[in-house]
Amino acid sequence: MCRALTKHQPALGLAAMMMIALAPPEVAAESPPADSPPADSPPADSNDPQAAEEDTPEPPRWSSAGPAGHAPLGVMGDHTHAAGEWMLAYSFSRDAKGQLLDGASRVGVDEVYEQFPMVPIDMTMDMHMGHVMYAPTDRITLMGMVMWMRHRMDTRMADSAHGDHHDEDGGHGDHDDHDGHGSHHVHPHSVSGLADAELSALVTIWDRNRQRVHLNLGVGLPTGSIDAAEPAMHGDGEERLSYPMQLGSGSWEARPGITLLQQTRWLSLGAQAMGVFRVNENSAGYRLGPELLTTGWAQLRGNSWVAPGVRLAHSRFGNISGADPALDPSLSPENDPDRQGGSRLSAHASLNFQVPRGPLEGHRLAVEWGLPVWESLDGPQLGGGFHLALGWEYAL
Ligand SMILES: [Cu+2]
């Protein structure tokens, strides 16, 4: 993990700069560098809220209370808990993709169908996630996440056979000679099951002046399947589904990150940078590329029931190293290890609700909706679409 962190030092440097940008000048001057190792115990002054509270009428510490105390739903590991607190959460999310991109340019299905006998047209990823947090101390919060996913994809393929439409008429892309209806059809694929689970520790390294910084030290567990298949369309046996359809990475993963939080009277602000690094090659002979996710958000405080927010998220994901021998890259771009990477900037709008009193006091509901605003993909690859998430959270 240390090597991974060093490799992505620019991202952590960016995160540290964002933290300094968020901080008032006099505080920035005395801020420790973001990568300094956590001390054995928090500084005495930040550990004694009463002493600090006497200086200023407003609570000087960052607080997770209220609907803006949790980030927009799409940010994981955004907040920590006080010693002894548990949190249970469930969320459902849907990510849809429906546009073929090559680089930043859109490409038509017909165009890609001239190169590949099987072309992805759209994809839907549904996720049900259960999520537990527990804080053994004020400084450390532990988190576990379990996910169940369903992936669906529609592909255009030749009517004649799986991957041999060129042979039918003896020419490349000669389906255009037909009237466009007889030569191909849309075939739905679907797979569901457990995805990769995550265990992580959130370690607070800075907590004063309504600013908080914590490290996200996560491990991804290879609980999701990487050999999902469907019955072969011609002949007996099964055909393995493409890389994006698989539910897991098959590798152990290091997921280091850093989260910066700040509150003002009217705003809750945050930024997070996180990496996903696959440590080992999986049993199918490949390793998914590294991912680097950075996001920043702002939410309105001031209402005890609801906090609207906006969020920008950037992700950079690498191509696959190695290859699954069961996937033929000439059949579909989804089977090609070198057509999986890219970057994406997306914009999200969110609403967080919390019940401030009564029998349901403390229950939180959240919704987030987002769209990609810029994408560049090693394509042809599916992009576009939307993200929608609904969630419930309860701390006890
Ligand atoms: Cu929590």
Per-residue pLDDT of 47-90, as tens digits, reads 444 444 445 455 588 988 899 999 999 999 999 999 999 999 99
Cα(53) to centroid(ligand 1), Å: 25
Cα(82) to centroid(ligand 1), Å: 10
Arch. (CATH architecture) of 2-31+72-395: Beta Barrel (2.40)
Rounded to whole angstroms, how far apart are CA atoms 294 and 10?
Answer: 12
Q: What is the mean pLDDT of residues 366-385?
A: 95
Predicted confidence at residue 58, as pLDDT, reads 54
Mean pLDDT of the chain: 83
Cα(30) to centroid(ligand 1), Å: 29
Stated pTM of the model: 0.79
Cα(130) to centroid(ligand 1), Å: 12
Cα(81) to centroid(ligand 1), Å: 6
Cα(69) to centroid(ligand 1), Å: 10
Rounded to whole angstroms, how far apart are CA atoms 160 and 166?
Answer: 10
Per-residue pLDDT of 132-171, as tens digits, reads 999 999 999 999 999 999 999 999 988 765 444 444 333 3
Predicted confidence at residue 24, as pLDDT, reads 40
Cα(309) to centroid(ligand 1), Å: 18
Instruction: Write down the domain spans for the chain.
Output: 2-31+72-395
pLDDT at 298 over 60: yes
Predicted confidence at residue 170, as pLDDT, reads 37
Predicted confidence at residue 83, as pLDDT, reads 95
Residue among 123, 32, 55 nearest 387 (CA): 123
Cα(88) to centroid(ligand 1), Å: 7
Q: 9: pLDDT confidence band, cut at 50, 70 and 90?
A: very low
Q: Do the beta carbons of residue 352 and residue 68 sit within 8 Å?
A: yes
Residue among 74, 126, 106, 93 nearest 382 (CA): 106
The first and second tokens of residue 268, run together, are: 């809750």
Cα(126) to centroid(ligand 1), Å: 22
